[in-house]
Amino acid sequence: MSPLTSPLHDRHLAAGAKLADFGGWSMPIEYAGGGVISEHTAVREGVGLFDVSHLGTGTVRGPGAAAFVDSCLTNDLGRIGPGQAQYTLCCRPDGEEHAGGVVDDLIVYLHGPDDVLLVPNAANAAEVLARLAAAAPAGVTVTDRHTEVAVLALQGPRSGEVLAAVGLPGELDYMAFAGTPGRNGAEVTVCRTGYTGEHGYELLVAAEQAGALWDALLVAGEPEQIRPCGLGSRDTLRTEMGYPLHGHELSVDISPVQARAGWAVGWKKEAFWGREALTAERAAGAVRQLWGLQAPGRGIPRPGMAVLDAEGARVGEVTSGTFSPTLRAGIALALLDTAAEPAPGLPLAVDVRGRTSPVEVVKPPFVPSRVR
């Protein structure tokens, strides 16, 4: 089956983007004339524009829709009000194999008690929405809008200036959102969220209006030296922040407790999928936990590499690894055995095809976050 294409596919082709299949979608990895490092630097120092329309979108509507979603997903929707968004997790229910394992991590946009918008990851969107639809009470409707809505991410310290130049609201609290007409009258939802660790916004717009918004942002951002950015720099940016990527730091085999995502669990809630399994694991203590690794030399840890202690014994595995353009060093996220007593500064090594390469344990983020 051919991968799906973004509503901005023609723009990416015209810009000479290198495309690759990501979660079943053909998406830009990097653009001609730039590359991952220059796009990464643009976001850290100025502003970059990403097409992340591969992300899923779905609505849950009807009497008590928010309360229903709250009873399924981990975080506590009671912590936020209408006009706010929240990071949360969809876990496997108690009674299923791998109970408490993460089906997906996603953002919930709370419009009101009867109206919720969900933004899951591309590869898992259908399963998340299918699980919710199967559990929904009478009167609550779950609708998949994956191909109807485009998602753009405007990220970087100059992103507010670009947003203002196209007449969209930027004076929002972190994780707050607002719906507003754009220049051409299209409804745009602006949210103070992102996946880069920089001040930024994610913009949701009808798929047929995405091209006009993309073009307007690039023109308005010319004085700020805006760059279109691909998923390659999105990955290096999120790794520097220690942000998890589903399938790497979160999965049905990696629980929120192991991934240090317990802050996204409403432990005092009476119900959410996987509550018993996660509560038991939290009480017992996870047998492995997510840490950062930084290479002092030229080595770059890669996913799947074994992490070794001073005696050469295996004490964990790299889940994500890359070259950090900001630090000019190899960095990684890794699940380490708690029995090895990992702590910042602990010297370890990664196995690079039978050769050991030194690393040091770090507690992420690797570089300071500027999202708030």
Query: pLDDT grade, residue 183 (50/70/90)?
Result: low
Specify which residues 293 forms β-bridges with.
332, 361
Characterise 185 by phi-psi region: left (phi > 0), alpha (psi -120 to 50), beta (else).
left
For residue 182, pLDDT over 70 is answered with no
Which domains, ranges and CATH numbers included, belong to the chain?
4-51+148-241 (3.30.1360.120), 58-144 (3.30.70.1400), 287-362 (2.40.30.110)
Torsion, Cα 108 111 114 117, to 10 degrees, reads -40
Q: Torsions phi, psi of 32, nearest 5?
A: -60, 145
Q: Torsions phi, psi of 60, nearest 5?
A: -125, 115
pLDDT over 70, % of the chain: 99
Query: pLDDT grade, residue 186 (50/70/90)?
Result: confident
Query: pLDDT grade, residue 184 (50/70/90)?
Result: low
Question: Is the Cβ–Cβ distance between 85 and 176 less than 8 Å?
Answer: yes
For residue 298, pLDDT over 90 is answered with no
Residue range 55-102, pLDDT digits in tens: 999 999 999 999 999 999 999 999 999 999 999 999 999 999 999 999
pTM for the model: 0.97
